[in-house]
Structure 1
Amino acid sequence: MKRLLVLLVVLFTVFSSNTVVAQNWLMQNSNFPADVFVINFSAVNNQVCWAVGQKYPANSTPYAGYIRTTDGGTNWTLNTIPGITNGYLAEIFAIDADTAYVTCYKLVGTTGTIGIYKTTDGGVTWNRQDAYNSSQTGPGFIYFFDSQNGVVIGDYLETYTTTNGGTNWNPVTMPTPLTNEWTWLGESRFTVSGNSIWFCTNKGRIFKSTDKGYTWAVILSESQYYDWRPCIAFQNEQIGIYSLNMAANATDHIVRKTTDGGTTWSVISDPVLANLAPSTIQYIPGTSSTYILVAGRVATMKGTAVTFDAGETWTLLDTTGCFLVNFASYAGGWGSQFETNVVYKYVGPPLPVELISFTATSNGQKVILNWSTATELNNLGFEIQRSAEGKEFFTVGFVNGHGTTTEQQNYSYADKNLNNGKYFYRLKQVDFNGSYEYSDVVEVEWRAFNSYLLEQNYPNPFNPTTTIGFGVQNKSNVKITILNAIGEDIAVVLNEEREPGFHQVEFNAANLPSGVYFYQIRAGSFTETKKMILLR
């Protein structure tokens, strides 16, 4: 399958690494007024996308309009959020075609509407949520990890989290800001991977959280880059790309890469990037290490570039000049141009992907491996390889591939007759001609179960999250509840059917005061209770 990547690179670079051979964007009618441009996209999939706009020049005239498509951009519906006065829409995050969140801010020293707005009916109605009631300017970046857990970050580092879909937003203690430090709004100033979040400020600092926004640390501080425009994107919790443009002279720019979560950065030297002043960088969801970079602010340094190897080498795709992009998957996304109402849809070749996901789970009887591919080329199949120590691997099975296909394929393999312990697995993908490549390694703890089990939570004491492990003997409904010191139920952590085996759930006590609590499991006729301590 790796030859798919090679073929696409050849397609893009027939003449030389700097030659544009294709224009890959289809212009669509956004229905925004002529003086409005897209400030932020939220692509749910290749059919559903939301976007918010601002009048240009930016921050010149308040505007509360947004657009939405459910047919891949063939039709965009324009609407406005009611009740907003002298406010500017900053960011939008869509869960699906019906549910979305929008942040609204005002300019410093002015009177205007600020807050978080939510719709659950495709924009027919919007409700303001309880947060940023006395903020200087209001919220900016917003992100949801799932339908319930989200985080929002304001212009002056004011941050909130929610565990119930925004019904309640809880303030977060942030590192002390520098004088006149604020977050950059729009484009790719924020990025999320797993439970980690990174965002940039105008003072050359990068903030990072590894627990969905509950705690934060400054991981980079570079005073020489005050007021440079940043772009940041991560493919996982370790590898990412970060660029900076001098605000006063955007032709001066630097692009760097990290492999340790953002602690250290190394400069990427590539001739393609020398002629592009980045305005957005995005990791393409579902790919192993593909990023797209667009430059659309400087007339002489416009273009779209792509990397398939996490920034080591870049290919110029076109010179369209998008300044903002948002991809839902490797197959397509949307872009916009700076201070015009033009919206583009990416219609070029699919950005290559090999393995979308690879996971290992234990159910007490066997280890289940699941993996998915988005496209395949001459794929004979997969050798399943196992190791007890993570170094020497042995082949334990083989699963046939689907040859050549552009449709997503899902695979599964069950490894049985194991001894208790930790195991490491990897896939060896083999082509028909014998060439092969390895997947990343996944690990799993396997234990045989012939009874129910409730483990002590870890860590304990904890603040504010802890993990509860439990074992299930037979397939049954498992309910785990949290009780206060007098035995009253105060939260339900889990209430669903689980397969036999060992499982873990995370409990977040962000809304509870310090104290002694109990957690109780009920599964079939099995009941057990243990004590936990929340210590702030």
Structure 2
Amino acid sequence: MFALVTLSSVIADSRPGPDEKQSGSSEMTGIRLITPRISDETTIPWRVVLEDFSGGRTGNAVQLEWTTSHEVQNQGFEVQRASSGSHGWERLTFIPGIGQSDMEQRYLFDDRNAPPEDLRYMLRILGIDGTIQYSRIISVPAGSVLRSFIISSSAPAYAKLYEAEIELDANVPVTLHLLDYAGNILVRTLNASELSKGMNTIQIDCSKLPSGSYEAIVYTPHERFSRTLTIK
């Protein structure tokens, strides 16, 4: 039987306080992995056995899922996230644990404010008695911010004017170039220009180009898309 917990994200500060120092810690990718100890010879078993922790993108959100097979005095889970644009880890939310269980428990969390970039997530597991555990760190690759990219003629054929319709899911810098099939850049329409979320219409002036087929390429911070443009 599963216990299902689902919450939306609320961003708050997650920096550890000075009273959270634990003994028996080790360093791994900048995160302390803590095994509470009574002495150097005796180790207290983990209060929470985490069987699985995974995440993936669903539209504009990231859905995290994890299961436990054993919980003792489990207060709950702090969900934390880090990205290339953040300084360290940020606390997204707190999800209460079952507390005491020897049955498999399943938890879900939707990060609805996930930026479209490479992200890392981890769980900070808090015990009722003050013990702290950390999960392994998982990575979720950047998502696509480009919803559509269409090129059409905006004037009579002899004018050689075209429109690129670029629909985005977020405000991002965009580069738009027109190349020949040898890879030479012939027209630089946008050069890392900030475009707004939604539909953007950009005019491409091909009046100086001879008839033929060309490649229109759109670059976002993490993606590259191309369309064929044929000038008659």
Is TM (by shorter chain) over 0.5? no
Higher strand share: 2
TM-score by length of 2: 0.41
TM-score by length of 1: 0.19
Higher RCO, 1 vs 2 (CA within 8 Å, ≥6 residues apart)? 2
